Structure formats: C-alpha cells, structure tokens
Structure 1
Amino acid sequence: MPELTEDVVCADRLSTTVQPTIDADCGLILRPWAPRDAPVVFEAYQDLAIQRWHVRTAASVAEAECWIDGWNSAWRSLVHAHWAVEDIRARRIVGRASLKQMDLAGGQAGVAYWAMPADRGRAVVPRAVEALAAWAFGEIGFHRLELTHSVYNQPSCRVAVKTGFHWEGTKYSSGLHLDGWHDMHLHARTN
C-alpha cells in the first residue's frame, strides 16, 4: 500500500556515511565508540547511578566490548546511534550520548545519555545533548526528539529543561527499574 507522505529522514543520509564526530564546544566532542573504550564503558556501568537509571551493568570488559560492537552495528542498521563524549583536552571519555529507537519515516528518535561520576556537575551532558540535537535537526532532518526519565531522576529533568526539551507529561508506570515500575516524565523538542 503506497504511503501518502514521504519519509521525514531519508535513510541515505545515514546509511551512506560513516558515523560522524560532532563538536560539542568547550573541548568536548561526540565520537563513535571504539573497541579501546571498553574499559571505560565497563567502569561507567559499575557506577550505582548509571545502573539505577539505565538498569544494566557490565560483568566484564569483554562484555563492554560486545556492547560497543552492538552500538556500532546499530548505526549501520539505522536503529540507534551511540557516541562517546570525549574531553579532547584531557583525552578521556566523560560520558555517552545516544539517539535511540530512530524512526526515520516519522523523523523521530529518543535521546539517552550519562556522565562519568567524576564529570557530573561540569555541564558535560547538557553540552552533549545540545550538540546531538543540533546535528539531528540540522544535519539529518529529524523533526522530533524525545527525552524520558524517571520522575525520581531530578538531574535528568534539569538536563531536559536546560537543553530546551519541554515537559509534555507523565507516562504512568512505564519504566521498569530495579525497585519496580516508575512513572516517567516525557520531554520533547521539535525542529
């Protein structure tokens, strides 16, 4: 059955290119994950806050390597896009930023992120989210980005507000965490 509208994002805009490095200003870049980053991913997922809000942990560096392979494969399959957030002055990873569940036909995706414990409070995540949104809207042509977080995750709520993601409502009992189902705030930005 023919569609009456065209895809908002042409798949060729992503499928025919390598995953880009995105400048986030002030010495931060978003770059594709590399196998050498596995020890940092392993370390990040030992952090209790990352475990709490992302509901996973890495059992080994080898498992983190598999995740990185999957993250890079997700780019090629146009499902998700994951970046390491690197402080190029310090030459170290300070966080992660991702587009998840990319719907190219509808021009929508979700935003996910975390910061390494030592880098929280340095505006790493807001700068990364701003850069990612600017790229997604400006370079690729997404129409809408959504950001969801547990109602108990106040730092994520502050990131959403600071980066222009407007609060749209509460998704009741929609996020399963270790302590049970959480209500989730839904924030969004449109192009």
Structure 2
Amino acid sequence: MSTPQRTFARTTLDLGDVQLHPWGREPAGPERLDALVAAAADPTIALWNPLPTADPQTARAWLEAREDGWNRGTGAAFAALDTTHGTLLGTVNLRWTDRTDGQAMIGYWFLPEARGRGLATRTTRAVTTWGFRTADARRIELAHATGNDASCRVALRCGYLPEGTLRASHLFGDGRHHDEHLHARLTTDPEPSPRGG
C-alpha cells in the first residue's frame, strides 16, 4: 500500500488584521505587480532575499512560478495582505526540500512599512503550524545569514531551535557567499510560548 504524497494545498489563512493569501496569477493587478517591483528595490530585501521582480514582466513570471508550486503541491507561497486595505505587507514561503521524508524550508520578507510590528513572527508561526497540521511536514528548517539579526530573532520566537552554522552556504544579494545559521522545528516540538523567545 503506497503512502499518500505530502502536498501543499491552496488555502487562505486569516490572522485578523493580516490575511495570508496564496500567491499566483490572480489577483495580479498592476498594484500587486508594482508592489513586487518595489520590494525588489528595497535594500534589505535586495540583500537578504533578492527578488527577480525588477519590472512588471519579471514580477508576473515570479507569480507564475509561485502558482506552479501550488499546482504541483511543492511550494506554498503566501502573500501577507493588510485585511483592511488589501495592500501587500510581505510574503511567507514554505517549500519541500525532501517531500518523501517530510522535510521543508520556510522563508519570508516584509516591506519596510510592515517591519517592527511582529508580522514576520506571527505569519511564520501560522504557516509553520499549517505545514505541520495539513501537509504532514515532519521537519521545517529556517536558514538566515549570520549577519541578519532580525531573522534570527524571528526564528527563535517561532520555536526554531538553532542547530549550527553553515559555512559560505548561500549567495546573497551583495554577490558574496555568507555563512548561515540553521534553525529547525520538528512536528514533535512544543509550540513556542505566545511571547516567543
């Protein structure tokens, strides 16, 4: 008897003031494409999470790739939207690294006006819980450059335990390979306290 394949199924996660909506071709109006172009130009995003969305055409191609991940059940890319105005705040992305073994990786970025409000922590927690409960993830990893202190704080607040340093492991937006801190959560780990840390 074969085991059902782990998959990410499209869903919307409502956090009250923020809605996590699946990225895809729809809705992909001019304002959403413009927001992705602006995100690519932000210095912090350009350094730690470079986006290939320098113009509306490449932004549309990026959205199509996110939709393809949903279609194949291999990636779960969520747009974090302000519930009141529908404006883009950032994104959280969960993808399989070993689908058969239930191993995934999570990442995120947020626009400057959305930072410092705890949104990265809240949305990352929500997507982590969703990945464990609905997609049968066994282990989710979070890696960030050692110089990215904000991401380290988010990881710890979300219950991702530090596991070590990956040397010169990822090419970042400055054209250099940086060391990364590796954090991970197991489905058997307890939920972090509401205040995190």
- Deviations along 1:140-191, one digit per CA (max 9) or x if unpaired, are 2111100000000000001000111000000011011224111100000010
- Deviations along 1:8-33, one digit per CA (max 9) or x if unpaired, are xx33754xx5x11012x241121112
2:195 is aligned to: none
2:11 pairs with 1:20: yes
Contact 1:174 1:181 (C-alpha < 8 Å) held by counterparts: yes
**1:79 Cα deviation (Å)?**
2.6
TM-score relative to the length of structure 1 = 0.88
- Report runs of 4+ in structure 1 exceeding 6 Å deviation: none
Matches within 5 A, 1:73-88: 73-88=68-83
- Deviations along 1:111-154, one digit per CA (max 9) or x if unpaired, are 01001111100111111101101100112211110000000000
1:92 is aligned to: 87
Identical positions, percent:
31
Contact 1:30 1:83 (C-alpha < 8 Å) held by counterparts: yes
1-structure distance, mates of 2:92, 2:112: 15
* Equivalent in 21, 40, 45 of residue 40 of structure 2: 45
2:25 pairs with 1:29: no
Matches within 5 A, 1:119-138: 119-138=114-133
Of 49-58 and 143-152, deviating more is 49-58
Contact 2:40 2:53 (C-alpha < 8 Å) held by counterparts: yes
1:185 is aligned to: 181
2:102 is aligned to: 107
Amino acid at match of 1:123: G
Aligned to 2:41, the other structure's residue is in SS state coil
Aligned to 1:170, the other structure's residue is in SS state strand
Of 90-99 and 158-167, deviating more is 90-99
Instruction: Structure 2 unaligned segments of length 5 or more: list them.
Output: 188-197
1-structure distance, mates of 2:65, 2:175: 27
Contact 2:6 2:99 (C-alpha < 8 Å) held by counterparts: no
Contact 2:20 2:78 (C-alpha < 8 Å) held by counterparts: yes
Residues paired across the two proteins, number: 181
TM-score relative to the length of structure 2 = 0.85
Instruction: Structure 1 unaligned segments of length 5 or more: list them.
Output: 1-5
Amino acid at match of 1:169: G
RMSD, matched Cα: 1.8
Matches within 5 A, 1:167-186: 167-177=162-172, 178-186=174-182
- Deviations along 1:23-61, one digit per CA (max 9) or x if unpaired, are 2x2411211123222221111111010010013442211
